[in-house]
Structure 1
Amino acid sequence: MLENHVEDYKITIISKEKTYYIVKDENDIKYLLYLDEDIEEGSILKVNGEIKRLKNTTVPLVFNFASYLKSQGVKGQFYMNDYEVIYYNYPFRVEFIDNLVSNLSIKSASFIKLLIFGEKSILTDSIYNNLIDVSAVHLFVVSGFHFNIFKLMLTNLLSRFFKGEKIIEGIIIVILFFYLYLLDFAISAFRSFLFIFLRYLNRLLFNSHFHRVELLSLTGILMVLINPLVVISPSFLLCFIVSFVIEFTNKLKLPFKKILIPFILHLSTLPIILDFNYEYNLVSIIATPLLTLPTTIFFFLSLIVMIFPFLDFIYLRCLIGFEELIRLINQIPLKLIFGKPDVFFPTIFYLILLTSILLFSLNIKKKALINLFLIIPLLVCQYFSTSLIIYDEVHFIDVGQGDCILIKKAFNQVNILIDTGGNKSFDLATNRLIPYFKALNIKKLDALIISHDDFDHMGAASSLLSNFNVDKVIKGNDFKYLKFNGLTLYNLNYQISCDNDNDCSNVIYTNINGIYYLFSGDISSNIEQEIIKKNPILKCDVLKVSHHGSNTSTSEEFINHIKPRFAIIQVGTNYYGHPHNEVLKRLDNYNVITLTTRNQGSIIFKMFNKKLMISLTPP
C-alpha cells in the first residue's frame, strides 16, 4: 500500500452501501471510498488520488467506524482527485435478486430484500431502526434461522427425487453456498453456512464423532483465522453468544422451559447491546417473542409472493400492518440508558449466566434461579454508575468546524452543554452527540447554552432538543450568571455593547474543582479589551480559544491578561485558514499548551482534588 502517494489506481467496486463503497485494487486489497455517483458492484474505475490510513472516531466510547471496517478486512481509504468509470457492471448477484422481486411493488421488494437477503435501503430504514430500538433487529439478520428453514424445505423437496441422504445433503450444501453468495458472504450468514458445512463433513467423514459445541467452536476459530479482526464485529459476537447459549440450554430440563430459555437467550445479548447501543428498551423483553411468529410467517409469505407475485396486494397490506405493529411497540416509553459498560460488567454478567446454566444442567434449579437474579443488582449498579464518578469533567467534543463543550459534574450533579456544533452533511445530534451522552450514561442535560446563532455553534440544537431530554435552553448573552447545583457560570460579556452575532456571544467563565475555564464563543479582540477593562484580575487555566483560532481574536493583550495554561481550539477542515498561524505563535510565545480538536480529537479534562488530567482521542 503506497500511503500518502498520489498516483493512478485501477479499482473494482466490491460492495455498495448507502453512503460509501468498499473497493479493491489490483492486488485484491480492500479500501473505503466515498463517491457521489451511484455505481453498481463489479464496476471498474480508474482513480487518481492517494491512499491514507483509516481514521478512528475522534469521539471516545461511541461506534468506531474504522474498527468496523478493519473487521471487514478494509486496509485504508482512497482520497480521490479524479476518477473515470472504465466498465459499468451489473453483478449477477444483484441482478438475480432484482429478478426475483421484479414483479412486486417497490415497498414489498425492498422488504423482501431486507428479510431474505439482508439488503437495507432507504425504504426499509424506518422499520430497521425501529427493530434496533426494541432490540429485535436480530430477527432480520440473515443467520441460522434462515439457513435452517431453507435446509428443512430443501430436504423435504429433494427427498422426493433422491434417496441417498448424503447425496441430498451434498446438493443442499451447494444450494446454501449459492444463497451465501447472494448474501455477499455476510458474517452471520457465513457463520451459519460454515457450521452447517462442518456438520455435513462430520457426518460424512467422521461418523458424527464431534459434538455440536466442538463444531461451533471450530467455526469460530476458522472465522478468526480467516479474518482476526472479526472478533470486534457485533454481528460475530452476537451470533456466537446466542449459538452457544442455545447449545448449552437446548437439552436442559427447565421449569417453564418455553418461557425461560427464550428469556435466557435474550438476556445473553444484553452486554453486547449495551456495549453498542448504551441503552436497553424494556419492551424488548416482549418484543422478540411478540415479533418472532409474525417474522417467521413473513419469511414464508415472502417466498410465496416471489413465486406468485399476483398475491402482492395481500402481502403489501400485511406488511403495512406489520410495520405499524413494530412502530407501536417502539413508541412504548421504556428505554433505560445504562451507558457503555467497562470490562467488569460483561465479565461478571456472563459468569452469573454461565453459573446459572451449569446449575440448571446439574438439576439444582432453585439455586440456578437465585443466581440468575443476581443480574438485577448488577444492572442497577450499571444504571447508576455515573452517580459514583468522583471527578468533574469538561469535554471539548470534536464536531469538526464548530464548538461543542460538555460540563459534567461529579456524582452526576450537573450536565451542561455549551453549543452543539453543526454539520450540513449529517445530523450531528443523532449520529454523534446523543450516542456520546448515552455512552457516558447521561440521561438528561440540565441546560443547553447557545453562545450565539451561528450554524457551527447551534446547527444541531433543533435535532438534539427533539431527540434528547434537555431541561432548559439559554441563548445569547442577556444574563449575568447561571447557577446549577453547586456550579456557577458567569457571563463576562454581560451588558457589553456589541454589533454582530460573534461579538454578542456569551463568554462563560467558571471555576470547576479549582480549575478556571473561559469559554469565549466567537468574540473579537474588541470584546476581549472590554472584558479586560471590566475584570482587571482574571485567572484562567483553560481557555477555549475564540472563533476557532481566527486572527480577529485572542489578542496578545488578552493572553497576557488571563495567562492560560492550556488553550483549546475547536476546529475542523475549513477554508478560512483556522487556526491562523499568528494566533498559534502568540499562544506559543506565552508558553500556552495549545490543543486542537482537528489534531487531538475530543479533548477531555478531568478534575479531582484541584488536580487536572487530560485525555485525547486523536484520529
Structure 2
Amino acid sequence: MDEQILENEEIDISNIKFTKVAKNNYIFLINGKNVLIQNYNIEENYSYILKGKISKIEYKNYKLSWYLFLKSKNIVYEMKSIEFINKFSRIDNILFRIKNFISSGKENYKKIIPLLLISENNYDQSSVVEKLKSISIYHLFVISGFHITLISKLLKKILTFIKLDFFYSLFIWILFVLFYLLILNFAISALRAFIFLLFLEINGKLLKNKFSKIEILLFTALLFIFVNFYIIFSFSFILTFLITLNILYILEFNIKSKLLNTFFISFTSSFLSYFILNLTKKYDYNVLSTFNSIIFSWIVSLFYAISIFLIFWKDFLNYLSWLFLKLIDYYINFQVFLKINLDFLFFLNIIFIYFVSLESIRIKIFNNYKIFTYKE
C-alpha cells in the first residue's frame, strides 16, 4: 500500500501489535509504515483488533520537539479517527515476561526500579520523574551510555575473573547487551553506547588502536544517519552524541587530577545539555546541576548494580527505593534555579563555538606533543 492509498484510507484489521514510543503513545506497523496512536490504554503484550482512518502527521498540530521526535522514528502517519480498538489475544514470550517481571512490584519499587532498569515510565512515576528532572539527574535514569558502559564493565570483570578467551568474552557480551537492547526497544542512546563500545574493542584488539575514540564516535554517528537519515531530528540522538563527544574531548586533555577531570566533565556536560534542550523549549537552569550529577552518579550507579544482581529480592529493592525517594524529597528543597530567556540562535551558536573551541585546543595540544616528541 503506497502513501497515496494509505493516507485517509479506513482500515479494519486484527492481530495488530503495538510498540511504545513514549508515555501513552504507541505505534503499529502496516505495510512497512509506522502509524501512531495516542492516549489509549495499550498493553504491549497483547495483539489488537483495530478500525479507524489513517492520516498524515502535520507539523502545525504538534510542538516542534515532538514533531522532530516522530520524524526521527520514521513516524509520519497517525490514526485519530478510531472507531474501536479491542484486545485480540495475549502475546506470551520470554521478552514480555521479563519486562512484566521487572515492572511489577510494591509501590515504591514500581516508582523507581522499572525506570532505572528498562526506562519504563508509567503513571505512578510521573511525580518522581518531575523531581528527578528538577534536580537535574533524570538523565541518570534514562537508559543510556552511562548504563550500558556500567553493565559492560560489570560483565567484563566477571568474564575476566573466569579467564575466558577474548573472543568468547566478546561474543557473550554482545549477546547479553543485544538482549538487553531488545528489552529496551533499541533506545538510541543505549544502542549508540553498544556500537561505540563494540568498535572500541575491535579497534583496540584487532586494529591496534588505529583510530581515536573521537573518530570512532563520529563514525558511529554517521552509521546511524546512514541507516535512518531522519534520526538527525532526534534530540536523544543529538544529546547522546554531543555529550559523549564532549566527554571524549575532555579526556583527551589528560587532566591529571581525577577530581578536576570529573568536575569539568560534569560541569560542561550539564551546561551543554541545558543549551541543547533549550533549542526547542525554555528551561530554568539548576545552579547545582553539576554538583548533583557528580554526587548522584555514584549513588545511582550503585543502585543500578544492586538492582540488577538482586532483581529477585523485590522487598529489599522496595525498601531501597523508599530510602531513595525520601532522599530526593529532602534534597529537592535546597535547589537554586536561574531563569535564562535567550533565543534559539544564541543556544545554537554557543554549541557550535564550544565544539570549535574544543577541537582547536585538541589540535594545539596534539601539535605541541608532536613537536615535543620530535625534539626528544
Provide the TM-score with structure 2 as the length reference: 0.84
Q: What is the rounded CA distance, in whole Å, between the counterparts of 1:84 and 1:352 in structure 2?
A: 51
Partner of 1:305: 310
How far the C-alpha of 1:148 sits from its partner, in A, is: 1.4
> Equivalences for 1:486-505 in 2 at 5 Å?
none
Query: Deviation of residue 76 (structure 1)?
Result: 0.1
Q: After the TM superposition, which residues 502-517 of structure 1 pair with which residues of structure 2 at under 5 Å, given as runs?
A: none
Pick the aligned partner of 1:263 from 263, 267, 286: 267
Give the counterpart of 2:337 among 330, 334, 338: 334
Q: Where do residues 200-239 of structure 1 align in structure 2 (5 Å cutoff)?
A: 200-203=201-204, 205-239=206-240
For the residues of structure 2 that align with 1:313 and 1:81, how far apart are their CA atoms? 41
Matches within 5 A, 1:41-190: 41-58=44-61, 62-78=63-79, 79-90=81-92, 92-100=94-102, 102=104, 104-190=105-191
Judged with a 3 Å threshold, the aligned counterparts in structure 2 of structure 1 residues 216 and 333 are, in CA distance, closer, same or farther, namely closer
Instruction: Pick the structure with greater CA Rg.
Output: 1
Offset of 1:7 from its aligned partner?
3.5
Mapping for residues 384-399 of structure 1, pairs under 5 Å? none
What amino acid maps onto 1:335 in structure 2?
L
Q: Are the aligned partners of 1:50 and 1:80 in contact in 2 as well (CA < 8 Å)?
A: yes
Could you tell me how far apart the structure 2 residues matched to 1:261 and 1:64 are?
A: 26
Q: How does 1:348-367 map to 2 (within 5 A)?
A: 348-355=350-357, 358-359=360-361, 362=364
What does residue 30 of structure 1 align with? 34
| Moved >4 Å (runs of 4+) | none
Q: CA deviation at 1:299?
A: 1.5
Residue deviations 1:254-293, cap 9 Å, x none? 4843433322222322320221331223232332223222
Contact 1:127 1:327 survives alignment (8 Å): no
1:249–1:261 contact (8 Å) kept in structure 2: yes
Distance in 2 separating the partners of 1:135 and 1:209: 37
Q: What are the Cα deviations for residues 172-222 of structure 1, in whole angstroms up to 9, with x where unaligned?
A: 111011111111111111111111222233346534422221211111111
1:301-354 CA distances to partner (integer Å, 9 max, x unpaired)?
A: 32243143352464144223233145324xx35231324x33354224431454
What amino acid does structure 1 have at the position aligned with 2:273?
T
Question: What secondary structure sits across from 1:8 in the alignment?
Answer: strand
Q: Which residue identity does 2:129 align to in structure 1?
A: Y
In structure 2, distance between residues paired with 1:317 and 1:7 = 47
SS in 2 for 1:87: strand
Residues 54 and 75 of structure 1 are in contact (CA less than 8 Å); yes or no, is this contact kept in structure 2? yes
Contact persistence 2:20–2:26 (CA under 8 A): yes
For residues 408-436 of structure 1, give each alpha carbon's deviation from its aligned partner in whole angstroms, at most 9, with x where no partner exists.
xxxxxxxxxxxxxxxxxxxxxxxxxxxxx
Q: 2:71–2:233: 8 Å Cα contact kept in structure 1?
A: no
Closer, same or farther in 2 for the Cα pair 1:267/1:64, shift >3 Å?
A: closer
Could you tell me how far apart the structure 2 residues matched to 1:107 and 1:57 are?
A: 40
Matches within 5 A, 1:534-573: none
Shift of 1:146: 1.0
Distance 1:276 1:134 in 2: 20
d(CA) in 1 for partners of 2:137 and 2:361? Answer: 28
Q: Equivalent residues in 2 for 1:405-484 (5 A)? A: none
For residues 18 and 265 of structure 2, the distance between their equivalents in structure 1, rounded to whole angstroms, comes to 43
The answer to whether the 8 A contact 2:188-2:237 is kept is yes
Tell me: CA distance 1:250–1:140, structure 2 relative to 1, closer, same or farther (3 Å): same
Among all aligned residue pairs of Structure 1 and Structure 2, give the percentage whose two residues are the same amino acid. 21
Matched residue, 2:349: 347
Matched, 1:291 2:291: no
Alpha-carbon distance, 1:130 to partner: 2.2
> Which stretch of the first structure deviates more once superposed, 233-242 or 273-282?
273-282
**Bigger CA drift: 309-318 or 282-291?**
309-318
Of Structure 1 and Structure 2, the greater helix share is in: 2
Report the CA distance shift for 1:233/1:249 in structure 2 as closer, same or farther (over 3 A): same
> Structure 1 residues 269 and 312 mapped into 2: Cα distance closer, same or farther (>3 Å)?
closer
Does the aligned pair in 2 maintain the 1:274–1:338 contact within 8 Å? no
Going from structure 1 to structure 2, the CA distance change for 1:6 and 1:358 (only over 3 Å counts) comes to same
Question: Using the alignment, how far apart are the partners of 1:313 and 1:349 within structure 2?
Answer: 41
Q: Secondary structure at the match of 1:259?
A: helix
Q: Matched residue of 1:77: which SS?
A: strand
Could you say which residue in structure 1 is the equivalent of 2:369? none
Counterpart for residue 24 of structure 2: 19
Q: Map Cα deviations across residues 133-159 of structure 1 (whole Å, 9 max, x no partner).
A: 333321112112111111111112123
Which residue of the partner structure matches residue 274 of structure 1? Answer: 278
Q: Could you say if the C-alpha distance between residues 213 and 317 of structure 1 is closer, same or farther in structure 2, counting changes exceeding 3 Å?
A: same
Q: State how far apart, in whole Å, the 2-side matches of 1:235 and 1:360 are.
A: 26
Q: Classify 1:4/1:168 alpha carbon distance in 2 versus 1 (closer, same or farther; 3 Å).
A: same
Of 299, 322, 328, 2:327 maps to 322
The answer for the alignment partner of 2:247 in structure 1 is 246
Give per-residue Cα distances to partners, 1:485-522, cap 9 Å, x unaligned: xxxxxxxxxxxxxxxxxxxxxxxxxxxxxxxxxxxxxx
Equivalent-residue separation in structure 2 for 1:201 and 1:189 (angstroms): 19
Give the TM-score taking structure 1 as reference length. Answer: 0.53
TM superposition shift of 1:77: 0.6
Measured at CA, do residues 258 and 39 of structure 1 come closer, stay the same or move farther in structure 2, by a change above 3 Å? closer
Asked if the contact 2:46–2:87 (Cα under 8 Å) also holds between the matched residues in 1, the reply is: yes
Give the C-alpha shift of residue 91 in structure 1: 5.4
Structure 1 residue matching 2:280: 3-state secondary structure: helix
> What amino acid maps onto 2:357 in structure 1?
T
| Rounded Cα–Cα distance in structure 2 between residues aligned with 1:240 and 1:39 | 32
TM-aligned CA deviation for residue 360 of structure 1 = 6.9
Q: Distance in 2 between matches of 1:320 and 1:352?
A: 36
Supply the distance in 2 between the matched residues of 1:314 and 1:46 (Cα, whole angstroms): 41
Q: Aligned partners of 1:83 and 1:313: how far apart in 2?
A: 35
Distance 1:333 1:153, change over 3 A: closer
Tell me the amino acid that sits aligned with residue 339 of structure 2: L
Contact 1:41 1:91 in 2 (8 A): no
Structure 1 residues 67, 90: closer, same or farther in 2, change over 3 A? farther
Count of matched residue positions in the alignment of Structure 1 and Structure 2: 356
Instruction: Name the CA shift for 1:325/1:165 in 2 (closer, same or farther; >3 Å).
Output: farther
Query: Which deviates more, 243-252 or 303-312?
Result: 303-312
Q: Deviations over 1:108-154 (max 9, x none)?
A: 13311101211111222122122223333211121121111111111
Unaligned runs of 5+ residues in structure 1 are: 365-619
The answer for unaligned runs of 5 or more in structure 2 is: 367-376
Deviation readout 1:432-464 (Å, 9 max, x if unpaired): xxxxxxxxxxxxxxxxxxxxxxxxxxxxxxxxx
Partner residue, 2:8: 4
CA distance in 2, matches of 1:216, 1:289: 24
Q: Is 1:166–1:204's contact at 8 Å kept on the other side of the alignment?
A: no
Distance in structure 2 (CA, Å) of the matches to 1:333 and 1:257: 24
Show the counterpart of 1:520. none
